[in-house]
Amino acid sequence: MADEGPFGDDVVRQIMRHMNDDHAADCLTICRALADRPGATAARMTGMDADGIEFAVMDGGVEHPVRIPFSERLTERPQVRREVVRMTEEARAALGG
């Protein structure tokens, strides 16, 4: 059996649902700036593990898979929120917002 680390399937699904339902604009901002997809028109979270977060990004009418590493390996769920907030703030600053 593969090691899920601190984030099992149920936890990842809950985080994805929250990000995609409540933070779609932040997902897009993160991908535009931190995944070097400035022309992206949509982004949705598709997965994550202790080392990074994954998105499907629409850019140029084509969906692209994107993985953005976390600043450190995460070991517990509360770190996910802090890391996503950090990414969002970093992305906004990079985009001049």
Q: What is the pLDDT of residue 6?
A: 81
- Give me the average pLDDT of each 10-residue run along the chain (97 residues): 71 96 97 97 97 97 97 95 97 92
Residue 3 lies in a domain: no
The DSSP H or E segment spanning 93 is helix 78-94
pTM of the model: 0.91
Whole domain around residue 64: which residue ranges? 9-94
Question: How many helical (H) and strand (E) elements, i.e. helices and strands, does the chain have?
Answer: 3, 3
Task: Specify the number of domains making up the chain.
Answer: 1
Looking at residue 37, which CATH number applies to its domain?
A: 3.20.180.10
- 86: tokens are 């950090």
Residue 23 lies in a domain: yes
Residue 64 lies in a domain: yes
- Rounded CA-CA distance 23/51 in Å is 20
Q: What is the pLDDT of residue 1?
A: 40
